[in-house]
């Protein structure tokens, strides 16, 4: 309660003042010592806010980067997406309660944003997927095929697959994060899995354990 | 191996991503820069809007600019001229209306065109078709700052709509239907009927002199019951405001404000010459003869004054319904017809002319003493308040964005594809 009251008090101060204050102690944020003693309720300078943010980036950017890579399919766009999301949380660093959840939400919503799609680089592979890549180990080969196939999905289909199967989110959570209906999540999942099957027979092996609605039918 | 494991494999094998070391500060710099750019854009846009608004054609007229005579000619208002409610004129020099309703997809309308100083034109869409006991459907105040119009709620409930041209707002005067302004513009003369004047049968009523600001009746006297509504009712207040001449049918009566009737006489076919029928010295009263000639009555007793001097001057200019004396330049009457304002010199001078199709006209009588000026091109008012202008601006902006933005996006994509 004290934390919430403190957040409310700080929000009442206005954005400029809040910039120079920081609330430490939240699980998703590194605790930052303040000028007046740090911790809860301490008024700190901008440098402390920056330090707290940098620490968060150091700790979580690798995991967040992996999600960004899955969502975009290439390093350049993944970096762009991740930095965009981190920059956004930097501006709201003092107001956001759960920084990682905020960044993840931004990652997903930005990944399917139409405005972002307008300035996204064109897909690197427009041709058909190779049926076999004889020079690779089978597992590595499957990964490469999946990676390429993911690039052939729509951003929203990719986001649904990543949320459902990479992050193991429920349909309701997925719909909440993407800001769409549960029915949309179901249909997008079904279309995405069907497309993966269609793109390469080897990928059918990956998705056969799932129904068209995305529910598992058997063991792994 | 299933999809979940495969996705984790892809994620684990993804290349490490670089994150800029000074991302926190950079984010704030970018925000500051964007806010600055937004503020700059708003500033530029505001400057552009103000420039457009104040461009020739969009100048806003200051109320009550004095020293201007009437325009010698008024024309059809520019397309999409601003409504008087959205861009008040301050004062109108000329008001005119077409002889027929304007047809549009929205139906019929009876717009008035108002012409102010600096050749500014405005439109007033009258909310309803109207008729008047006096034959006129609008009366401009001598200073041009207010316009009276009949306002019929129902046949038996007739009032006056007062359009304030300095603000574009409308007020309702409950006391009756408008007949005329007093010469100094400080009072309005209304008629009140005890029933529906458009119905048949004899109907009594009263003449009411009202303060237009408060709506208070300052002078009232009864009218005899008559069925001659369609014949018109003409009233003219003397220059000093002490007497009011009223013609009802063939009866011309001069009432004293102090009480009682000064005199009364029957006119055969003549009629009171209009709201400015009293000469400026108050000694004569102009009446229009059967053939259109202008004659004078002595205001002491109502006797005809022979050899008045006007009767032979272009009598064809006056004598048809709607023609009336609206003011004086010295001893010379200024006559307003349905589409012109004429000074009855010999030969007569046209002071104001209107476009073809004009059916009714009113001018600011206070300006009659000044020489008319030759008008410049008409201006329809501030661009931003003209009907549909904002929509056109948005459409133009979207079109421009599409014309510029789409090719720019295509070029950018091509460039990136080549660079990649």
Note the pLDDT tens digit of each residue in A133-167.
445 455 667 788 888 888 888 889 999 999 999 99
Q: Do B4 and A165 make contact, defined as CB atoms within 8 angstroms? A: yes
Q: Whole-angstrom Cα distance, residue B351 to residue B140?
A: 17
Per DSSP (E only), the strands in B2-128 are 92-98, 102-104, 107-116, 121-126
Instruction: Using the predicted structure, report yes or no on whether residue B53 has a pLDDT greater than 80.
Output: no
Inter-residue contact B295 to B311 (CB < 8 Å) = yes
Q: What is the pLDDT of residue A33?
A: 43
- Closest by CA to B136, choosing from B93, B187, B178, is B178
Please classify residue B255 by burial: count the beta carbons closer than 10 Å to its beta carbon, then call 0-12 exposed, 13-18 middle and 19+ buried: buried
Any B CB within 8 A of A57 CB? yes
* Nearest CB to A206 within list B1, B20, B409: B1
- Closest by CA to A192, choosing from A147, A159, A144, is A159
B170: part of which helix (H) or strand (E)?
A: strand B169-173
- Closest by CA to B228, choosing from B163, B140, B134, B90, is B134
Q: Whole-angstrom Cα distance, residue A122 to residue A175?
A: 27
B162: part of which helix (H) or strand (E)?
A: strand B157-164
| A166 neighbourhood in chain B, CB within 8 Å | 4, 7-8, 11
Shortest distance between the Cα of B6 and any Cα of chain A, in A, equals 6
Instruction: Using the predicted structure, report yes or no on whether residue A17 has a pLDDT greater than 60.
Output: no
Higher pLDDT, residue A160 or B402: A160
Q: Whole-angstrom Cα distance, residue B39 to residue B21?
A: 29
Inter-residue contact A91 to B27 (CB < 8 Å) = yes
Higher pLDDT, residue B55 or B305: B305
Predicted confidence band at B393 (pLDDT cuts at 50, 70, 90)? Answer: confident
Predicted confidence band at A219 (pLDDT cuts at 50, 70, 90)? Answer: very low
Q: The whole model's pTM is what?
A: 0.56
| B409 neighbourhood in chain A, CB within 8 Å | 118
Any B CB within 8 A of A95 CB? no
Q: Do A79 and B19 make contact, defined as CB atoms within 8 angstroms? A: yes
A56: part of which helix (H) or strand (E)?
A: helix A46-72
Shortest distance between the Cα of B394 and any Cα of chain A, in A, equals 21
What is the average pLDDT across B302-313? 68
Number of H helices, E strands in chain A: 11, 0
Shortest distance between the Cα of A115 and any Cα of chain B, in A, equals 12
Torsion sign, CA atoms A43, A48, A49, A53 = negative
Query: Which parts of B133-179 fold into alpha helices (H)?
Result: none
Higher pLDDT, residue A33 or B378: B378
Q: Do B16 and A65 make contact, defined as CB atoms within 8 angstroms? A: yes
Predicted confidence band at B64 (pLDDT cuts at 50, 70, 90)? Answer: very low
From residue A157, give the alpha-carbon distance in Å to each of A120, A136, A149: 16, 27, 12
B231, HSE (Cβ side, Cα atoms, 13 Å): 12
Instruction: Using the predicted structure, report yes or no on whether residue B43 has a pLDDT greater than 70.
Output: yes
Secondary structure letter of residue B83 according to DSSP = B
Any A CB within 8 A of B103 CB? no
Under 8 Å CB pairs connecting chains A and B tally to: 107
* Nearest CB to B18 within list A19, A79, A90: A79
Predicted confidence band at A174 (pLDDT cuts at 50, 70, 90)? Answer: very high
Q: Which of B54-63, B158-167, B230-239, B338-347 has the highest mean pLDDT?
A: B158-167
Any A CB within 8 A of B26 CB? yes
- Closest by CA to B178, choosing from B251, B218, B233, is B233
| A162 neighbourhood in chain B, CB within 8 Å | 7
Instruction: Using the predicted structure, report yes or no on whether residue B101 has a pLDDT greater than 70.
Output: no
Instruction: Using the predicted structure, report yes or no on whether residue A23 has a pLDDT greater than 90.
Output: no
* Nearest CB to B24 within list A90, A119, A150: A90
Any B CB within 8 A of A199 CB? no
B197, HSE (Cβ side, Cα atoms, 13 Å): 28
Q: What is the pLDDT of residue A24?
A: 35
Q: Whole-angstrom Cα distance, residue B68 to residue B49?
A: 29
pLDDT tens digit sequence for A76-119: 889 999 999 999 999 988 888 899 999 999 999 999 876 566 55
What is the average pLDDT across B304-314? 63
B143, HSE (Cβ side, Cα atoms, 13 Å): 14
Q: Do B417 and A124 make contact, defined as CB atoms within 8 angstroms? A: no
Q: Which of A174-183, B177-186, B292-301, B359-368 shows the lowest mean pLDDT across its residues?
A: B292-301
**Residue in chain B lying closest to A142 (CA):** B6
Percentage of chain A exceeding pLDDT 90: 35
| B417 neighbourhood in chain A, CB within 8 Å | 121-122
| A90 neighbourhood in chain B, CB within 8 Å | 23-24, 27-28
Inter-residue contact A29 to A72 (CB < 8 Å) = no
Any A CB within 8 A of B29 CB? no
Percentage of chain A exceeding pLDDT 70: 61
DSSP B111-132: EEEEEEGGGBEEEEEESS----
**Residue corresponding to tokens 């209009």:** B274
């Amino acid at each position: 309660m004290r934390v919430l009251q403190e957040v409310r008090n700080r929000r009442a101060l206005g954005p400029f003042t809040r910039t120079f204050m920081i609330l430490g102690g939240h699980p998703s944020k590194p605790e930052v010592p303040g000028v007046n003693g740090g911790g809860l309720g301490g008024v700190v300078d901008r440098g402390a806010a920056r330090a707290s943010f940098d620490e968060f980036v150091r700790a979580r950017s690798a995991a967040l980067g992996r999600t960004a890579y899955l969502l975009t399919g290439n390093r350049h766009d993944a970096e762009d997406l991740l930095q965009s999301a981190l920059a956004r949380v930097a501006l709201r660093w003092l107001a956001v309660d759960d920084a990682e959840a905020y960044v993840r939400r931004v990652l997903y919503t930005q990944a399917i944003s139409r405005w972002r799609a307008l300035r996204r680089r064109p897909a690197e592979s427009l041709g058909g997927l190779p049926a076999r890549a004889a020079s690779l180990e089978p597992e590595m080969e499957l990964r490469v095929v999946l990676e390429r196939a993911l690039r052939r999905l729509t951003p929203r289909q990719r986001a649904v697959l990543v949320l459902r199967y990479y992050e193991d989110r429920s349909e309701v959570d997925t719909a909440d994060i993407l800001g769409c209906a549960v029915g949309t999540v179901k249909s997008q999942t079904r279309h995405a899995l069907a497309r993966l099957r269609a793109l390469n027979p080897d990928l059918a092996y990956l998705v056969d354990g799932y129904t068209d609605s995305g529910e598992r039918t058997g063991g792994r | 191996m299933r999809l979940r494991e495969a996705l984790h494999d892809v994620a684990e094998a993804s290349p490490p991503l670089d994150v800029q070391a000074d991302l926190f500060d950079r984010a704030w710099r970018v925000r500051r820069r964007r806010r600055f750019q937004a503020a700059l854009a708003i500033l530029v846009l505001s400057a552009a809007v103000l420039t457009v608004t104040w461009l020739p054609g969009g100048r806003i007229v200051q109320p009550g600019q004095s020293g201007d005579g009437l325009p010698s000619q008024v024309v059809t208002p520019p397309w999409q001229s601003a409504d008087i409610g959205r861009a008040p004129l301050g004062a109108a020099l000329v008001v005119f209306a077409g002889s027929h309703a304007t047809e549009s997809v929205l139906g019929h309308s009876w717009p008035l065109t108002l012409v102010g100083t600096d050749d500014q034109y405005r439109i007033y869409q009258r909310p309803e078709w109207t008729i008047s006991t006096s034959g006129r459907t609008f009366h401009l105040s001598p200073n041009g700052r207010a316009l009276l119009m009949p306002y019929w709620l129902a046949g038996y409930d007739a009032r006056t709509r007062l359009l304030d041209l300095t603000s574009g707002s409308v007020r309702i005067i409950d006391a009756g239907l408008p007949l005329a302004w007093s010469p100094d513009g400080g009072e309005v003369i209304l008629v009140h009927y005890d029933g529906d004047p458009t119905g048949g049968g004899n109907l009594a009523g009263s003449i009411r002199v009202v303060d237009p600001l408060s709506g208070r009746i300052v002078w009232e006297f009864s009218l005899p019951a008559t069925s001659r509504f369609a014949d018109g009712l003409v009233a003219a207040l003397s220059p000093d405001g002490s007497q009011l001449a009223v013609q009802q049918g063939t009866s011309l009566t001069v009432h004293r404000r102090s009480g009682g009737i000064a005199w009364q006489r029957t006119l055969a076919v003549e009629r009171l010459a209009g709201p400015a029928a009293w000469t400026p010295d108050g000694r004569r009263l102009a009446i229009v003869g059967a053939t259109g000639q202008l004659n004078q009555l002595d205001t002491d007793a109502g006797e005809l004054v022979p050899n008045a001097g006007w009767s032979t001057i272009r009598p064809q200019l006056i004598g048809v319904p709607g023609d009336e004396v609206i003011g004086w330049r010295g001893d010379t009457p200024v006559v307003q017809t349905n589409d012109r304002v004429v000074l009855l010199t010999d030969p007569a001078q046209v002071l104001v002319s209107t476009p073809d199709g004009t059916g009714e006209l009113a001018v600011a009588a206070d300006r009659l003493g000044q020489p008319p000026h030759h008008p410049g091109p008409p201006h329809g008012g501030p661009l931003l308040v003209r009907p549909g202008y904002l929509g056109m601006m948005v459409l133009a902006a979207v079109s421009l964005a599409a014309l510029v933005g789409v090719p720019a996006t295509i070029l950018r994509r091509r460039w990136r594809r080549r660079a990649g």
